[in-house]
Amino acid sequence: MAAPWRVYRSRSGAVSGFVRAVWTGRTGAAAEEGLYEAEVLVPVRPVRNAVRPNSFTRYRNRFLYPTPRICCCRIHSDTKLKDPFSLVQKDLQNLYEDIKKLLVSKAELKALCDYYFDGKGKAFRPMIVVLMARACNIHSNRQGDLLPAQRSIAMISEMIHTASLVHDDVIDGSDTRRGKTTINEVWGERKAILAGDFILSAASMALARIGNNAVVSVLSQVVEDLVRGEFMQLGSKENENERFKHYLEKTFKKTASLIANSCKAVSILVNSDPEVHEIAYQYGRNVGIAFQLVDDVLDFTSCANHLGKPSAADLKLGLATGPVLFACQQFPELHAMIMRRFGSDGDVDRAWRYVLQSDGVEQTNYLAQRYCQEAIRQISRLRPSTERDALIRLTELVLSRDK
C-alpha cells in the first residue's frame, strides 16, 4: 500500500523539498520574489494507532520557490558512482591550514579560533561546495578545474559553519562538541563569543576579496538566516501544523541555507543562467534539510560516543525535532511537554520513550529520503560528470551516516 501524504502549505521558501507548485500569474517583482502558491508534500508512512491516518492538513505558502517541472535525467545503471571524499581530497588539501592563515591574531585569540580547525573534521560542507563547483564548471563548457574564488567559498562556508557552532555552544551551554570539550568550557563564554565573532569577520573579509557582488549578497543571506533560525529555535507553536512548518523553516535557516547558498555562489562564478543557479541552490537546500533530519534521528538512535555530543541533547534543550513531532500522532500527551519545552521533571525521559515506541524515527528517516530524492532530481539536470554523480552518491552517505 502506498504511503499517504500529509499536505502542508507554508509561508517560507525553506520547506519545499518535493512540492506541487502552482504559478499564481504574478510577474515582475512578485515573480522575482518567488511569489507562488504551492503545496508542500510531506510523506507520512502508515503509523500504528494514528488518530486519522488518511487525513490531510493544509496551510498556504506564497513565498516558496517552486521546483521546476523538468523530468529527472536517467542515470545509467552501469554508472559507477565515485566516492565524494576521494574526488575532493586534492582540492581540500591544506584547507584548514589555509583557514588558520586567515585568522592571524594575538596568540590567545588565535588559539581559540584554531581550536575546531584541527583538520580532524570531514569538511562536509566544503566537500559539497567543491563538487558543485566542478560539476557547474563542466556543465558550463569549462574545464572541471576549481577556480581560486570557488575554493575560497569552500573555505568561507566552513568558517561560517564553525563560527555558528561556537555561538550555538554558548547559547546552549554545551560542554562537548565533536568529541572534545567546547570552547566556552575551556576559555569561558565571553571569549568564546569573541572567537566566533572574529571567525565571522575573517570570513567576511575573505568574501569581500572575491570581488563579486552577487556572491557577496548570496552568502550574506546565510548569516541572516543563521540568526533568524536561532531566534526561531527559542520559540514554539501551539498549533500542530504550524509547529511542523516552524521546525522545517528553522532547519532550513540553521543548516540548509549555508549549503544551498554556498552551492549557488560557486555556480554564479561560472554561469550566468539563473536556472543553473537554482539547480545548485535546490540541491544544497534539499541535502541540507535531509542532513539535519538524519542528525535529529541520530539524537535518539546513536550513542553519545558515536555522535560526539550527549544523546537526547535536543530534548534536554527543550527542542521538539522531527521524531518528536511525528510521535505526537500516536502520543498526544507529547503536545503539553513540547509547549513547556520538556521542562517538568521526567519530561525528557517520557518523551524519549514515546519517540522510540512510535514511528517517529522511521517517518523522519523517510522524510529525509524524500528530500534526498529531490536533491538527486535537481542535480541530475546538469551535464553528466564524475562530480555530478558524486553529488548523487553523497545523498546515500547522508542517509546512511551514523554520526
- Listed range (6-10, 311-315, 324-328) with the worst mean pLDDT: 6-10
61-110 tens-digit pLDDT: 322 233 333 333 344 333 455 789 889 989 999 999 999 999 887 677 88
d(CA 244, CA 242): 6
Q: What is the CA radius of gyration of the chain?
A: 21
Q: What pLDDT does residue 355 have?
A: 95
Count the Cβ atoms, other than its own, within 10 Å of residue 249: 20
Q: What pLDDT does residue 310 have?
A: 56
Mean pLDDT of the chain: 81
The pLDDT > 90 percentage for the chain reads 63
Domains within the chain, CATH numbers bracketed = 5-400 (1.10.600.10)
User: Average pLDDT for residues 244-273, to the nearest whole number?
Assistant: 96
What are the C-alpha distances in Å from 124 to residues 84, 107, 120, 289?
Answer: 10, 28, 12, 14
Whether residue 7 is predicted with pLDDT greater than 60 in this model: the reply is no
Q: What pLDDT does residue 306 have?
A: 56
186-213 tens-digit pLDDT: 999 999 999 999 999 999 999 999 999 9
Whether residue 59 is predicted with pLDDT greater than 70 in this model: the reply is no
